[in-house]
Amino acid sequence: MNDQLLPASVHIFEGTTRDEAGRAVTDADVHWREMVRRHGPERAAALAQGDFAVAFALDDGSTFMAVDRFAVRTLCFGVHEGDLVVAARADTLGKAIGAQIDLQALYDYLYFHVIPSPRTVFQGVRRLPAAHFGLWRNGRLEVKPYWRPEFASGRSAGSVDSLKEEFQTLLARAVKRGLDGTKPGCFLSGGTDSSTIAGMIGRVAGPPSTYSIGFEAEGYDEMSFARIASRHFGTDHHEYYVTPADVARSLPEVAAHYDQPFGNSSALPAFYCAKMARENGSTRLLAGDGGDELFGGNTRYAKQRVFGVHDDLPSWLTGIVDPLFDNAVMAAVPGARKVTSYIRQAKVPMPDRMQTYNLLHYLGQETILTPAFLNGVDMDAPRRQQREIWHQAANADLLDRQLAYDWRYTLAECDLPKVCGTAGMAGVEVGFPMLDRSLVEFSMRLPSRYKLRGLKLRWFFKEALRDFLPREILAKKKHGFGLPFGVWAQRHPGLNSLARESLGALADRRVVQAGFVKALMDERLAEHPGYFGEMVWILTVMEQWLRRHAPDFRVAR
């Protein structure tokens, strides 16, 4: 990559570009230039497959840039002194042009726990959103989507048996494409997706090396399921138990590694998993990310279907029932309390309803953040962006709209950067077979009733693999690499000290209120370590990132 950040020297080709037939392209430069010449910028980006981030100058002096459908690879850009400048990382570009920290981005981080594109933490630096391309011509920049999900779930998709056979074939091919000829390996949480990937590697390339993370904390450790999957598929299994001391030691390093504040707490265990793999000789791992979001595996999908019942009731009935239960008197009656809560949540339109338990809303922005900080931000901006993304799939049913929404926010903005970021820190590349174009397109034509059957999550996926996966894996509830940070932050002196000191420093920067820090650490954390521990985590990560990348940052009075 050229670091001069000038239009004439733009030349970024990251990741693996595949042609229309799914074949890996060996010379990405030549391929992309030819595709843009033949098809034009938008069509060229739409035809490309793989995980890519590209930016290069065209013969006419304009500049073309694009990222893949899920932004597995990232690309940042800005206009500086009249020129377009680009880089793979926001911090590289922000520091090159002397950009200041964006208060709105910090607010977005506290709301989402990540900073969704196109904003970055640096003023004037933007990140190209997933499935978007950009064209800089004659001093003007145009950024547009080249692809949006189109679901056909209302049409007939064929018999279930034929779909099962097709799905297994596509999955095996996607896994095979994800391998690069080096030692085959994958993350293994013991969940449905990672277990499926482990088994499919065994089918197409022989038993893989598998890597799992455990926690000695009640309700968080799922190593037993990883062991079941490993035994079932005969993998070369490796385990590591993350400790509170590991977190206290590595949190500053992991937080600072990202190009902007990034608050997904499972990034740290993912780092230890990738580090273990690298030490074992694996340089590329496959991950199961995407299965839940393509095939309906998250519990919130079933929850929103329950709320959707209220949406489908006739207005005359809701006109009677809603006032009867949605009032302060009924809210205090034990037997009616749940009905009141249900009605109040059901009456909130999507996607706002999904933010019912957002930490900023629950605790109150004015309680958490200083007046000086709040004066510099638009508190409604995150909601407006979420509504815009939600409405992009307006022609789909409720479930498929949730899936499309999660493709942007859960995958592109959170889970994929988590895995790629910390794996890269450990020196490991990652592939995501579930996001192979063939499987994505298969999922879009799969009837939504096959994804969520009543309240049964990922019904078709499990049916298609019923004779392939261990029954214990099929029956287990979703978990993953969740970190018991809140529990440990209470019990481990070093971790507690790191958190207190970090949050105190944010108060000194005039980001958060000192009184809130004291209440959070002394009272709230003990009330519910899992829930309020998340707020402690994201604030600690923010401070550790600022300490490395913007040590002098302070909110103006």
Q: pLDDT (tens digit, 9 = 90+) per residue, 35-84?
A: 999 999 999 999 999 999 999 999 888 999 999 999 999 999 999 988 89
Q: Annotate 141-186 with DSSP letters as a single string.
A: EEEEES------TTS----HHHHHHHHHHHHHHHHHHH--SS--EE
Name the burial class of residue 466, with classes exposed (0-12), middle (13-18) and buried (19+) by CB atoms within 10 angstroms of its CB.
exposed
Measured in whole angstroms, how far is the alpha carbon of residue 46 from the centre of its chain?
22
- 397: helix, strand or coil: coil
- Amino acid at position 59, single letter: D
- Please report which helix (H) or strand (E) contains residue 526, including its range: helix 525-527
- C-beta of residue 75 within 8 angstroms of C-beta of residue 141: no
Look up the pTM and report it: 0.94
Q: Which residue has the higher pLDDT, 152 or 417?
A: 417
Asked whether the predicted pLDDT for residue 107 surpasses 60, the reply is yes
Q: What is the token pair recorded at 44?
A: 């060229």
Q: Is pLDDT of 158 > 80?
A: no
User: What is the domain partition of the chain in residue ranges?
Assistant: 7-136, 148-483, 485-549
**Closest to 136 measured CA to CA, from 180, 78, 94:** 78
Please tell us whether the domain made up of 7-136 is placed in CATH 3.60.20.10. yes
Which tokens sit at 470? Answer: 């261990």
Q: What is the pLDDT of residue 10?
A: 65
> Is 358 a residue whose pLDDT tops 70?
yes
pLDDT of the residue at 9: 52
Question: What is the C-alpha separation between 53 and 133, in angstroms, rounded?
Answer: 10
Task: Tell me how crowded residue 480 is: count the other CB atoms within 10 A of its CB.
Answer: 21
**Domain 148-483 maps to which CATH number in 1.20.1250.20, 3.20.20.140, 3.40.1190.10, 3.40.50.620?**
3.40.50.620
3-state helix, strand, coil in the chain (%, to 5): 55, 15, 35
Average pLDDT over residues 492-504: 97
- Mean of pLDDT values over 325-339: 76
